């Protein structure tokens, strides 16, 4: 391995040991994501100034990047947070709460935390402050939750996968799980909860859900695990997910 490849490997190990996505280290170091990718792949001829910025962002002296990888970086522990993704009606709240209870850890609705930080309901947040502000608060909330010690089950907003940096952060620092169902099931479950908002002022809600799901499916499919909820009882889906966490069932999609 060349010096540059060795350096790049150590930068990546240090970054991953902190649970940071590549974009997070790039932001902290004040360098471009493309440049950092080149460094980690051993393709970047790093100047002393850029190396100082990277080492400072990692909280390490420059010399540490040329020494053996730190003990922390050599650890291979699994993420302690479980993050559920999917459209509204996927079962994130119901299954998430049941899984958290079985694993004896907190269950947290991310959008509820966003509302607390914003001091207003989501509908008002989007109306008065706009989607960009929602995304900013969502990322802030997720970063704080992922930084918190100990395991937890997180139910994320349905559109989190459409925010590339936030989705990368979530996938790099949590075990992500797509709760998959058909558009018809999503709509039926939302209606059963007494939430009629999806139907108000819309002529074909089901077709809209189908279009949204088709657009997001490639993103949801990037999750570490997929759990099928279509036609399955909550207890069955919960048992499968708990079993995977405990290493008792295969990681089949």
The CATH code of the domain that includes 27 is 1.10.260.40
Question: Does residue 126 sit in the same domain as residue 200?
Answer: yes
Under the banding of pLDDT at 50, 70 and 90, the label for residue 71 is very low
Which pLDDT value is given to residue 152?
A: 92
Model confidence band, residue 251 (pLDDT cutoffs 50, 70, 90): very low
Which among 2-6, 45-49, 82-86, 183-187 has the top mean pLDDT? Answer: 82-86
Q: Is residue 102 part of a domain?
A: yes
Q: Are residues 188 and 241 in the same domain?
A: yes
Regarding whether 89 and 34 lie in a shared domain, the answer is no
Q: Residue 77 — very low, low, confident or very high, per pLDDT cuts 50/70/90?
A: very low
Q: How many domains does the chain have?
A: 2
Better pLDDT: 193 or 208 = 208
Across residues 192-201, what is the average pLDDT? 53
CATH number for position 193: 3.40.50.300
Query: pLDDT tens across 110-134, in order?
Result: 999 999 999 999 999 999 999 999 9
Domain end marker among 74, 91, 125: 74
> Would you say residue 28 lies in a domain?
yes
Whether residues 59 and 119 share a domain: the answer is no
Query: pLDDT band at residue 196, thresholds of 50, 70 and 90?
Result: very low
Does 224 share its domain with 106?
yes
Does pTM top 0.85 for this prediction? Answer: no
Q: Among 44, 74, 104, identify where a domain stops.
A: 74
Return the SS3 of 171.
helix
Domain encompassing residue 48: 3-74
Shared-domain flag, residues 58 and 122: no
Q: How far apart are CA 88 and CA 102, in angstroms?
A: 23
Residues 226 and 196 in one domain: yes
pLDDT at 16: 74
Backbone angles phi, psi at 176, to 5 degrees: -90, 140
Cα gap 187→205, rounded to integer Å: 8
Position 9 in a domain: yes
Residue that wins the pLDDT comparison between 11 and 204: 11
- Note whether 119 and 214 are same-domain residues: yes
Instruction: State the number of CA atoms in the 13 A half-sphere of 21 facing the CB.
Output: 18
pLDDT surpasses 60 at 194 = no
| 206 pLDDT higher than 90 | no
List Cβ neighbours of 236 (8 Å cut-off, separation of 6 or more): none
Identify whether residues 52 and 106 lie together within a single domain. no
In terms of domains, do 87 and 150 share one?
Answer: yes
The pLDDT assigned to 253 comes to 42
Q: Are residues 101 and 67 in the same domain?
A: no
- Kindly state the average pLDDT of the residues 236-248: 87
The pairing of strands 152-155 and 107-109 is parallel
């Amino acid at each position: 391995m060349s010096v540059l490849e060795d350096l790049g490997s150590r930068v990546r190990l240090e970054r991953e040991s902190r649970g940071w996505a590549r974009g997070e280290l790039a932001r902290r170091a004040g360098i471009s994501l493309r440049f950092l990718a080149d460094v980690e792949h051993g393709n970047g001829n790093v100047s002393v100034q850029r190396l100082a910025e990277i080492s400072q962002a990692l909280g390490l002296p420059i010399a540490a990047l040329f020494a053996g990888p730190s003990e922390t970086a050599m650890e291979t522990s699994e993420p302690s947070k479980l993050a559920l993704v999917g459209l509204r009606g996927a079962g994130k709240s119901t299954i998430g709460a049941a899984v958290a209870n079985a694993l004896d850890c907190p269950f947290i609705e991310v959008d509820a935390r966003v509302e607390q930080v914003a001091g207003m309901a989501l509908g008002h947040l989007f109306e008065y402050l706009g989607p960009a502000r929602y995304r900013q608060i969502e990322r802030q909330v997720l970063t704080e939750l992922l930084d918190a010690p100990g395991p937890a089950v997180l139910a994320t907003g349905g559109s989190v996968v459409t925010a590339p940096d936030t989705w990368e952060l979530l996938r790099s620092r949590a075990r992500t799980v797509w709760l998959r169902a058909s558009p018809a099931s999503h709509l039926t479950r939302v209606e059963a909860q007494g939430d009629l908002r999806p139907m108000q002022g819309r002529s074909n809600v089901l077709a809209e859900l189908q279009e949204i799901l088709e657009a997001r499916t490639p993103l949801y499919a990037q999750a570490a695990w997929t759990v099928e909820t279509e036609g399955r009882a909550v207890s069955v889906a919960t048992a499968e997910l708990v079993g995977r966490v405990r290493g008792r069932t295969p990681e089949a999609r």
